[in-house]
Amino acid sequence: IDVREDFSAASPYNRLRDARSEARDAERGQDKGEADARDAGPLWRTVRELALQTLAALVGVTSPPFALALACVVLVEVAVAVTGYNMVHRLEGLLTPLLAIIFGLCCISIFAAAHPGTPANGGAPGGAGAFILAIFSAYAYAASWNPYASDYSRYLPSVTSRRAVEWAAGGGLFVSCAVLEVAGAALATVSGTHWGVDDNPTAQFVLPLSHDLAIAATFGIALGAIAANVLNLYSGAMSFLTLGIR
């Protein structure tokens, strides 16, 4: 079905095209500093909603309820964690290269669309306090993985080089966090993104991506959540065992 074949004013294609033009005009006005420029944020959200509605009508499906989607992800996480270490290890081994490819391509697209040296779109709310909080939150996130790592290092042979373990764990954590955090900073400068209280960060993340990559990135976010949380659940279970709770 070609949505462009419907020439009526109320057709999905014409509504989407008009909404996109309106949003881009407002964005140009904001970039030029025009006093009467409209806020492009709500207009781009309208474009997104119309695009999703058009896509859903074309393929005949709608997005699942959030509670159902969340329940499915949690069930997978629990099932993998309950199965045990070998299952966790196999899943992580499969997802690591897949997620590295997906998010590597996402970073390339984001860096290509970014405007280094320019302020974040809509300004940077919070000032210096928010910046300092972000730095310590990033450090705390990375440091919090240390106790989880200890749950897996004990499975290594006793002759394993301690230095090799340190470099593998520390290097992997540093590279993944640093690259994605730099990409997040670059994303804030991509045209069309908005960072208000009511704006969805995931929607902003996929904005500079191609259609196919945006779909892959969405699945990648869900798979990444599974990969991270099965470690949390398994480590939590090991903590209960140390307390004698079975």
For 26-45, the pLDDT digits (tens) are 888 877 777 777 777 777 77
Q: What's the one-letter identity of residue 92?
A: E
Share of the chain above pLDDT 90, in %: 14
pLDDT for res 151: 60
**pTM of the prediction?**
0.69
pLDDT, mean of residues 149-166: 77
Q: What's the one-letter identity of residue 239?
A: S
pLDDT, mean of residues 190-203: 79
Rounded to 5°, angle at Cα 173 from 170 and 175: 105
For 97-124, the pLDDT digits (tens) are 999 999 999 999 999 988 888 777 665 5
DSSP assignment of 28-78:
HHHHHT-TTPPPHHHHHHHHHHHHHHHHHHHHT--PPPHHHHHHHHHHHHH
pLDDT for res 63: 64
| pLDDT-based confidence at residue 126 (cuts at 50, 70, 90) | low
